[in-house]
């Protein structure tokens, strides 16, 4: 079972914040005093509070503000899951910036290329731009592994990835992940933009399968 809060809080350092295992199985979350929730057929227990999430975003936003001062980045938000993180992150970005939203469709190619990603909604010319790709979660990294070359083919000046959650134990590709807000274990989480079969995206806290 997993802890109810990160073992390191944002003030502890600049890296993404790992969560550590916990031994007990609380029927009621000890940190927030909230009961289990049910989405479709599954029970979930509270895992991270909205205030813990907000603190982690403060840290990422502070680093982006420093690193992108005077650069006018283009935030490219990957829908659907990235919408809530993008909203909170962008409110904290103090410099000039632009925002676009994309969707990614994946399908198996018929040839030797394997999995192909199609980007929908990117009408802007990104050549010469500083791109910050905004994702809900980096899990295996498969999505980004296929998406990044497609973006790079359009000759941006730079591409960085900002994600609310990152599961280091799941990562299968060598990605440069400089702006991860929170590291989490390899568990299925819902809330804060993330869904279980369509439900749960609206929850301000994050829950894990009970
Ligand atoms: P990838 O494995 O390509 O890094 O992640 C692909 C997508 O899987 C993520 O963008 C997210 O939509 C979904 N995903 C990965 N882990 C989780 C999780 O713990 N919960 C939910 N709801 N979706 C996840
Ligand atoms: Mg995603």
Tens digit of pLDDT for each residue in 25-64? 444 445 556 789 999 999 999 999 999 999 999 999 999 9
Q: Does residue 104 contact residue 147 with C-beta atoms inside 8 Å?
A: yes
Report the predicted TM-score, pTM, of the whole model to 2 decimal places.
0.85
CB of 186 shorter than 6 A to ligand 1:
no
Q: What are the residues facing 182 on neighbouring strands?
A: 17, 165
In this structure, which residues have their CB less than 5 angstroms from ion ligand 2?
81, 136
116, pLDDT greater than 70: no
CA distances to 60, 127, 141, 168 from 174, rounded to whole Å, are 21, 24, 8, 11
> What is the rounded CA–CA span in Å between residue 72 and residue 100?
13
Per-residue pLDDT at 107: 63
Range with lowest mean pLDDT among 9-18, 75-84, 90-99, 115-124: 9-18
Per-residue pLDDT at 105: 73
Q: Does residue 166 contact residue 182 with C-beta atoms inside 8 Å?
A: yes
- Structure-token match 């980007």, residue found: 119
Per-residue pLDDT at 5: 46
CA-wise closest residue to 191 among 16, 46, 20: 46
Helix (H) or strand (E) holding 209: strand 206-209
Return the residue whose CA atom lies nearest to atom 5 of ligand 1: 139
Per-residue pLDDT at 33: 65
> What is the rounded CA–CA span in Å between residue 202 and residue 37?
13
CB of 140 shorter than 6 A to ligand 1:
yes
Tell me what the pLDDT averaged over the chain comes to.
86
Per-residue pLDDT at 75: 98
| Ligand 1 nearest atom to the CA of residue 139, by list position | 4
Per-residue pLDDT at 194: 96
Our mutation pick for probing the ligand 1 site, out of 19, 76, 136, counting the most ligand atoms within 8 A of Cβ, is 136
> What is the rounded CA–CA span in Å between residue 163 and residue 178?
9
Per-residue pLDDT at 19: 56
Please give the positions annotated as active site.
139
């Amino acid at each position: 079972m997993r802890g109810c809060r990160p073992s390191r809080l944002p003030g502890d350092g600049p890296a993404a914040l790992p969560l550590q295992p916990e031994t007990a199985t609380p029927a009621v979350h000890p940190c927030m005093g909230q009961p289990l929730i049910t989405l479709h057929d599954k029970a979930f227990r509270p895992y991270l509070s909205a205030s813990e999430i907000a603190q982690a975003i403060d840290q990422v936003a502070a680093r982006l503000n420093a690193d992108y001062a005077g650069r006018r980045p283009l935030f490219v938000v990957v829908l659907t899951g990235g919408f809530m993180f993008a909203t909170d992150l962008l409110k904290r970005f103090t410099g000039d910036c632009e925002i676009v939203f994309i969707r990614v469709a994946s399908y198996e190619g018929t040839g030797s290329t394997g999995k192909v990603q199609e980007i929908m909604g990117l009408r802007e010319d990104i050549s010469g731009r500083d791109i910050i790709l905004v994702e809900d979660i980096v899990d295996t990294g498969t999505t980004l592994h296929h998406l990044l070359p497609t973006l790079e083919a359009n000759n941006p000046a730079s591409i960085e990835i900002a994600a609310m959650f990152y599961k280091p134990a799941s990562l299968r590709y060598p990605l440069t992940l400089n702006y991860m807000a929170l590291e989490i274990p390899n568990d299925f989480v819902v809330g804060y933009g993330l869904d279980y079969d369509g439900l749960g995206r609206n929850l301000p806290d994050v829950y894990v399968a009970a």
